[in-house]
Amino acid sequence: MTVVPSSPPTTEHDEPPPGDGSLRLGVDDRFAVPPRATRRRRRLTDLAGRAVGPVLVLVLWAVATSLAWVSPILLPSPASVWDAGVDLVASGQLQENLLVSLARAGTGLAIGVAVGGLLALFTGLSRVGEVLVDSNVQMLRAMPILALQPLVIVWFGIGEPTKILLVALAVTFPVYINTHAAIRSVDARLVELATTVGLSRWELVRRVVLPGALPGFLTGLRFATAISWLVLVVAEQINATAGIGYLMTQARTVARTDVIIVGLVVYALLGLISDTVVRLIERRSLAWASTLQAR
């Protein structure tokens, strides 16, 4: 007769057997992706938190102007700025000048992003490009873009090409630097694997290098959109006949501080909207990446 040994009695400190639904895979809870509802609540909380700072500034601004701590000529009240903005919208001046500024910034941004991306690919994928181009780009990057303004005016005059070129130059460098660094940081093991399976050079670039460099490119694009508006503020004051910068220059000649502040607010909103759009593109394009932003 065969004796079957009995199972030892379990205690309350014993681990539950596998298969009862409590099996853990050893994954740290910190890296677990929370439910969609939790992520939505966190995003709303973050948006509310981001709004606290601007609201406090607006309150302090209203208090300072209402108590006459600051001269209304130097800093008009929020109500005065609002009225000036409403008047500009009603007369159509704001819309007309805004469209001109958007066209300039969009054209310069497109040119700069294309040039910066192509240069990054050339220097990142080619030793010859690294030697011939990278050092020149680094030297130009060290120069203040606005310091090139007199030279650009001498070469191209004071028309639209000068304004667009200044924006394009300013945009090129952040796109180039971030994309070039991302290309150089692509995992060498992925390149070796792609070579082992017989991918051609074009397929290697398309399937390995470009996806690996996409996060760096999008980071450069975020910097580029912000810089484009900063440079446009100055570029539109070079003998311009339209644009938000032109509107601010005209207001300065007649001491309309409220209109100047309206222009600054418009630039700030444009920068915020463009950055938000790039972040949405980044979130959709990098949905495959495992990051902690989902928390």
Which pLDDT value is given to residue 159? 78
Whether the pLDDT of residue 145 is over 90: the answer is no
The percent of residues in the chain predicted with pLDDT above 70, rounded, is: 74
In the chain, where the domains are located:
50-60+76-286
Residue with tokens 């004796």: 3
Residues 200-251 have pLDDT tens digits of: 666 766 667 777 778 888 888 888 988 888 888 888 877 777 888 888 888 8
* 216/180 Cα distance (integer angstroms): 8
Helix axes 160-184 and 135-142, enclosed angle (nearest 10): 130
In the predicted structure, residue 39 carries a pLDDT above the cut 70: no
DSSP 292: G
Contact 122, 133 (CB under 8 A): yes
Predicted pLDDT at 132: 81
Phi, psi of 182 (to 5 degrees): -65, -40
Evaluate if residue 11 carries a pLDDT over 70. no
Statement: residue 2 has pLDDT above 50:
no
Residue 69 near residue 60 (C-beta atoms within 8 A): no
Residue type present at position 231: V
Closest CA to 92 of 247, 256, 255: 247
Q: In the CATH hierarchy, which fold is given to the domain comprising 50-60+76-286?
A: MetI-like fold (1.10.3720)
Residues 102/229, Cβ–Cβ less than 8 Å: no
Range list of H helices, 126-243: 127-129, 135-142, 149-156, 160-184, 188-196, 201-204, 210-235
pLDDT digits (tens, 9 = 90+) for 96-139: 989 988 998 899 999 999 999 898 888 877 777 777 888 788 88
Q: What pLDDT is attached to residue 282? A: 77
Are 105 and 171 spatial neighbours (Cβ–Cβ below 8 Å)? no
Nearest 5°: CA angle at 138, between 137 and 142? 115
Q: How far is CA 72 from CA 65, 75, 257, in A?
A: 7, 5, 9
Write down the residue that tokens 């222009």 correspond to.
263
> In the block, which residue shows the tokens 């100055």?
234
Neighbours of 145 (CB within 10 A): 21
- Per residue in 164-198, pLDDT tens? 888 898 899 889 988 888 887 776 676 666 667 66
Q: pLDDT (tens digit, 9 = 90+) per residue, 249-271?
A: 888 888 888 888 898 888 888 88
pLDDT greater at residue 24 or residue 240: 240
